Amino acid sequence: MTETLTIERTRDERDVTGRTAVRKRRRGKRPVWEEPPTAAGQTAKGLTLGVVVAVVLVPLWIIVVTSLSTQAAVNRAGGLVIWPTDVTFEAYRVMLGDPTVRNALLVSLGITVVGTVVSLVVSVLCAYGLSRSGSVAHRFILVLLILTMFLSGGLIPTFLVVTELGGYGQYWALILPGAVSVFNILVLRAFYSDTSADLIEAARIDGAGDWRILWSIVLPTSRAVTAVVALFYGVGYWNSFFNVMLYMPTDSEKWPLQYVLLTYVNRGNGLPGSVNSGFGSQFAQTAPLSLQMAVVVLTIVPLLLVYPFMQKHFRVGVLTGAVKG
């Protein structure tokens, strides 16, 4: 259902960015007919928006500062550190030296990379396969896809199917069941359908088949939307943790970062099994606060790394849609 919501959103977004170009010219300055703002109104507005920005940034700031603090600074503050006094990267050194976290980081990166590639390839192919109007059965397949947005077997039947296929404890169980997002396919398809028909017809006359057209014409002209979809898939895989809870709740050496975060930062538990195997020695007991915060930062950093890129392509992808549509 959230997916349906997002469809409308993306469509509207194209509108908005299409128009911001116009608006920039028109609304850079206050229009003459608009009454000048009152001082009280401006203050209230500034304060509200300031609060909106602060509730997001302040916790992140505090977490980063604490992760960079020494144990002495943490003790002095009685917990979280708000202002950096003696900055140290000790927590990060310990964290990256710990096999549990290193392992979880690799697992997370692996799942994210493999999952994104699988999802993207499957979605791009399907979207193009359905984007040529008049092709055999494309309408039927489309209906088949869209129906899954409304009907689902739900948690338990899906769990049973994956388990019967031997997915319990397997990495593919974290990727394949959710690999296809029909919503993303519909977005890609909308863009691919917009690719110039003349261009495609010309290529066809020159003897290019559909694979060639997809690779040499459609993909290069819709790079931005492909990037956006890839990033959405990527963020989804990076953030997923429930599948882990479902399919590998006990094999702690297979856990991705989010699950490690949940277990010993959120719940403050030592990792199960760590005492016997000597695995995750730093984390057998509740870890020091700076170390916990370093793990939090570690889960945020990849998101922050792709965020500006995502923003850029978000706009470009969205603009392309507006121009084409």
Partner 1 sequence: MSSVDTEPPARKNKLSLRVRLRRDRSLLLMTVPAVALLLVFNYVPLFGLLTAFQDYNPLVGVWNSEWVGLAQFEALFGDSLFWGSLTNTLYLSFVQLILFFPIPIALALLLNSVLSERLRNLIQSIAYLPHFFSWVLAITIFQQMFGGAGLLNQFLRSNDISTWDIMTNPDTFVLLITSQAIWKEAGWSIIVFLAALAAINTDLYESSAVDGAGRWRRLWHITLPGMAGVIMLMLVLRLGNALTVGFEQFLIQRQAVGHEAADVLDTFAFYYGIATNNYSYGAAAGLFKSVISLLLIWGANKLAHAFGEDGLYRK
Q: Is 117 in the site for partner 1 (CB under 8 A)?
A: no
Cβ-contact 255, 274 below 8 angstroms: no
Q: How far is the CB of 321 from partner 1 (least distance, A)?
A: 12
Query: Based on CB atoms, which residue is closest to partner 1, 53 or 323?
Result: 53
Report the 10 Å Cβ neighbour count for 160: 11
Strands (E), the chain: none
Output 43 or 277, the one with its CB closest to partner 1: 43
Shortest separation between residue 96's beta carbon and partner 1, angstroms: 19
List of residues 6+ apart from 150 with CB closer than 8 A: none
How far apart are the C-alpha atoms of 52 and 105, rounded to whole Å?
Answer: 31
Bridge partners of residue 69, in order along the sequence: 87
Q: Which of 87, 197, 275, 305 binds partner 1 (CB under 8 A)?
A: 197
Nearest to 69 by CA among 50, 53, 89, 46: 89
Nearest approach, Cβ of residue 278 and partner 1 (Å)? 26
Tokens of 9: 């959103």
Contacts of 217 (CB under 8 A, 6+ apart): 195, 199, 200, 203, 208
Q: How far is the CB of 89 from partner 1 (least distance, A)?
A: 20
Subset of 60-99 contacting partner 1 (CB under 8 A): 60, 62-63, 77-80, 82
| All residues at 6 or more sequence positions from 306 whose CB lies less than 8 Å from its CB, including other chains | 231, 234, 235
Tell me which residues in 147-176 interact with partner 1 (CB under 8 A).
Answer: 148, 150-165, 176
Nearest approach in angstroms of CB 197 to partner 1 is 7
Q: How many residues bind partner 1 (CB under 8 A)?
A: 117
- Name which position in 64, 141, 217, 219 contacts partner 1 (CB under 8 A): 141
Q: Is residue 51 a contact residue for partner 1 (CB under 8 A)?
A: no
Q: Classify 195 as helix, strand or coil.
A: coil
Residue 210 Cβ, how far from partner 1 at the closest point, in Å? 4
Which of the stretches 83-91, 207-215, 219-227, 277-285 binds partner 1 when contact is defined by CB under 8 A? Answer: 207-215
**Contact pick of 174, 214, 228, 248 for partner 1 (by CB under 8 A):** 214
- Our CA dihedral for 285, 289, 293, 294, rounded to 10 degrees, sits at -70
Q: Please identify, among the stretches 85-93, 95-103, 180-188, 277-285, the one whose residues bind partner 1 according to the rule CB under 8 A.
A: 180-188
The H-or-E segment that residue 222 falls in is none
Q: Fill in the amino acid letter for 26.
A: R
Q: What Rg do the C-alpha atoms of the chain give, in angstroms?
A: 25
Site for partner 1 in 245-284 (CB under 8 A): 245-246, 258-259, 261-262, 265-267
Using CB under 8 A as the binding rule, whether residue 31 contacts partner 1 is answered as yes
| Cβ contact 141:130 at 8 Å | yes
Q: Which of 73, 95, 105, 126 binds partner 1 (CB under 8 A)?
A: 126
Shortest spacing between CB 218 and partner 1, in angstroms: 11
> Contact between 125 and partner 1 (CB under 8 A)?
yes
Instruction: Report residue 231 as tokens.
Output: 């990033």
Q: Which of 71, 88, 99, 132 binds partner 1 (CB under 8 A)?
A: 132
Per CB under 8 A, which of residues 215..234 are in contact with partner 1? none
Report how far residue 52's alpha carbon sits from residue 147's, in angstroms, rounded to the nearest whole number.
38
